[in-house]
Chains A and B, each alone.
Chain A
């Protein structure tokens, strides 16, 4: 195309290019193209199983590396003390193209494997060491507590005799006697000592009691500090117990019961000296273990820190390599010429950039064979690519959400830049609220660079993505607020009002003083009892006027499409009757609204007619216009003419296009072509195949996808399609025009909410005086402001956003938009980042 610059009006022109890439340069070429982000590669091996593709081995290796990198990331995240990860823009890049690339990747593979084994080893040893530490700590507790028991037993000896006669605790006496017996025998009684979970101790006691029929003496104490499981972090509390019993059988039973209840038994010596030896030994071992544990921890942390330095770089490299090999899997390997053949869509404007990139890649890799680029002719539909910048991106996205534009049709996103915020503002009109959202958007734009790098959470991220939309919404809202004369439910009194209110005790009727409030709604209406009557009528009529004009504008966007795609039939068969239909009824309504407003009814002798009744009467009883309530002379005749025009448009829309298409089909059939494509193309194809083998690099598309749907020009389908189209348009005209009344409804709701908030909060507290009054006023102002931001700005804002969007998607787009395209998704390393 001859245009110098890309425009948002249509999607870019795309070309299908065939790349012939020598195998040695393939990796570097794809890397370079990925950095550019301008080529969407087609899959040339659609029938091949992913496991049978040529580069499966490399992908497997990259996956292994990716897994290791993910493992490192999870280990770093689990650390309580944050391990800093050096951000990508701060890291030294790892060279992945050029002659040293393969060596670098191998080195990376080895490094990652080493780090992983080291880390896994350290993790394992840390775990085993912690377990052993725990056991030793338990053993130490057991030793200490049992020492206490034995001491207590010794001291209790002397007290026992005195309480001998007490019969309330017979078993205890029995035990004490046993102990007394023991003390003389130097504690020859066998015992079992160990630890058990605190929750289980009572069950343990009961079970033992039943099993041994009371032939035991058990004592237990709590271990004060809990044991923390290093893997899960759960705390368990344990008790130390010691059980004295007599006889091997009993001891065996005790041991079995203890094991079944999950207790850990420790060998304790009866001799006090031996016990203190063991205690010393345990303490020494514990100290050693703690040192080792500490060192392991330190080593692990330093390892993680080292990993953290490079982690972002590795993630980036691994991601890119995977993308490169996946893309290379899409290529076709030409065995004869030892090159890879690739096909991809490229924006025509960027072809020189691609050429330069290819040349750069070959230079980097050190070979002298430049990949060859060829344009292919095809009748496949190219993808739709609209070049956006950070400002237009948001608007394009919200219009794309309805449907991607067909290749090179008029892009509604361009116009949405202004019409969307404007229609939003009509529903939101308030100077104060508009300023609030304007400043919020301005703040986000100031923080743009910083926030773009961060990971914003979902909701804030959405608002940040649409910051320019919100900015424009705020600006237009200030304008419409000026028009509605509404700032936080008060009105401004900038110019001379057109009404004067005379002093009166009862009802005070305003008197016109000749002035005309030049810019916006007269502030006299604010606070008037019939203010709503006026504003409702004004806003409703405004909604209809704006709606019909918006729909007319959208309808006119059909013209560039018909001209571009060379469909003159559509102009005469679709566009013109649709326009006449819309204008003859609703355009006429708009003209009547404006005309009625422009007449000074006090100088006329006819009554001002109700426009709604007039429109209904026009359709139901055409030609009959009551002279006393006519808008203008000759109205009856003109209305009949308009109605007839509209009536003629319906069969025009229904019949003209099918008729002409039918004539065209007859003509084609008459010239002897049966079916499409195959038979005619047959002989030609085989001749070309012979030539292909001899020619070098001809422009044939490698994969002739037979998926091309040849449209069946079945006449019945054409007729049905046209009927649906006609009905949809005609009914749509009426329903869509009424739908625009939401502009009135939402602005009314907004104004009323705002007024209610003011009168229920601040107004009630304005009269209060004194310290209490001031404090209460301040608190109420805070409440009023937060309610304004959350309810009126955010909630109402979202609501108005949604309705404005609906107006664009349904009412406007249905007049011209086809939306059958598919989005251009180039191989782009920058976008890979966003995807994660």
Chain B
């Protein structure tokens, strides 16, 4: 299950959303601001998700616990 495909797939999706954001924001005094905000938000959120996902794809270490604690929350 852990493969690189979701990264590429979601990248394509985000690029599509960014294009929509660029094309479909109505003209007005705030067009630049809204466009920039949408595109930057999508890009930065995707970047962070991508880094988090890829860091855990093929981890080099395995977690271990010294005493059996219950799972969180």
Using a CB–CB cutoff of 8 Å, the interface residues on chain A facing chain B are 4-9, 387, 389, 392, 414-415, 417-419, 422, 426, 479-480, 483, 487, 490-493, 498-499, 501, 503-504, 506-512, 514-531, 533-534, 537-538, 541-542, 545-546, 549, 594, 597-602, 608
Contact = CB atoms under 8 A, between A and B. Distances in A.
Contact of A491 (B1, B36, B73): B73
A512 B53 CA distance: 15
Interface string B1-32: 11010100000000000000000000111111
Contacts of A518: 6, 53
Contact of A415 (B30, B40, B49, B55): B40
A508 B68 contact: yes
Contact of B71 (A487, A493, A538, A598): A493
Contacts of B65: 501, 507-508, 510, 527-529
A446 to B, nearest CB: 22
Contacts of A491: 72-73
A525 B49 contact: no
Nearest to B48: A483
Interface string B31-73: 1110011001100110111011111111111111110110111
Contacts of B51: 538, 541-542, 545-546
A594 to B, nearest CB: 6
Given A493-B71, A507-B65, 20 more contacts: A7-B31, A8-B32, A9-B32, A415-B36, A417-B37, A418-B36, A418-B44, A479-B45, A483-B52, A487-B73, A493-B73, A508-B64, A516-B56, A527-B72, A531-B63, A538-B56, A542-B52, A545-B51, A546-B47, A597-B55
B22 to A, nearest CB: 14
B1 A524 contact: no
A499 B63 contact: yes
Contact of A523 (B30, B47, B57, B72): B72
B58 A601 contact: yes
A512 B64 CA distance: 12
Contacts of A541: 51, 55
A533 to B, nearest CB: 6
Contacts of B45: 479
Contacts, number: 150
A238 B41 CA distance: 76
23 contacts: A7-B31, A387-B29, A414-B36, A422-B40, A487-B73, A493-B71, A508-B65, A510-B62, A518-B53, A521-B56, A524-B63, A528-B64, A528-B65, A529-B66, A533-B61, A534-B59, A537-B55, A542-B48, A546-B47, A594-B54, A598-B57, A600-B57, A600-B58
B36 to A, nearest CB: 6
Interface of B: 1-2, 4, 6, 27-33, 36-37, 40-41, 44-45, 47-49, 51-66, 68-69, 71-73
B38 to A, nearest CB: 9
A526 B72 contact: yes
Nearest to B38: A418
A517 B6 CA distance: 12
A419 B58 contact: no
Contact of B52 (A492, A538, A594): A538
A756 to B, nearest CB: 16
B48 A7 contact: no
Contacts of B60: 601, 608
Nearest to B63: A528
Contacts of A493: 71-73
Contacts of A507: 64-66
A735 B21 CA distance: 35
Contacts of A549: 47
Contacts of A419: 40, 44
Contacts of A520: 52
B8 to A, nearest CB: 11
Contacts of A608: 60
B5 to A, nearest CB: 11
Contacts of B40: 415, 417-419, 422
A570 to B, nearest CB: 24
Contacts of A525: 63
Given A5-B27, A479-B45, A516 B57 contact: yes
Contacts of A530: 61, 63-64
Contact of A426 (B36, B48, B71): B48
A503 B56 contact: no
A7 B32 contact: yes
Contacts of B52: 483, 520-521, 538, 542
Contacts of A509: 62-64
A607 B29 CA distance: 56
A530 B65 CA distance: 8
Given A418-B41, A418-B44, A493-B73, A510 B54 contact: no
A493 B72 CA distance: 8
Contacts of A479: 45, 48
Given A490-B73, A517-B56, A601-B58, A417 B47 contact: no
B21 to A, nearest CB: 12
Among B2, B41, B59, B64, the one with the most A-chain Cβ atoms within 10 Å of its Cβ is: B64
B33 to A, nearest CB: 5
Contacts of A524: 63
A659 B27 CA distance: 45
Contacts of B53: 516, 518
A362 B21 CA distance: 47
A414 B37 CA distance: 8
B49 A483 contact: yes
B61 A506 contact: no
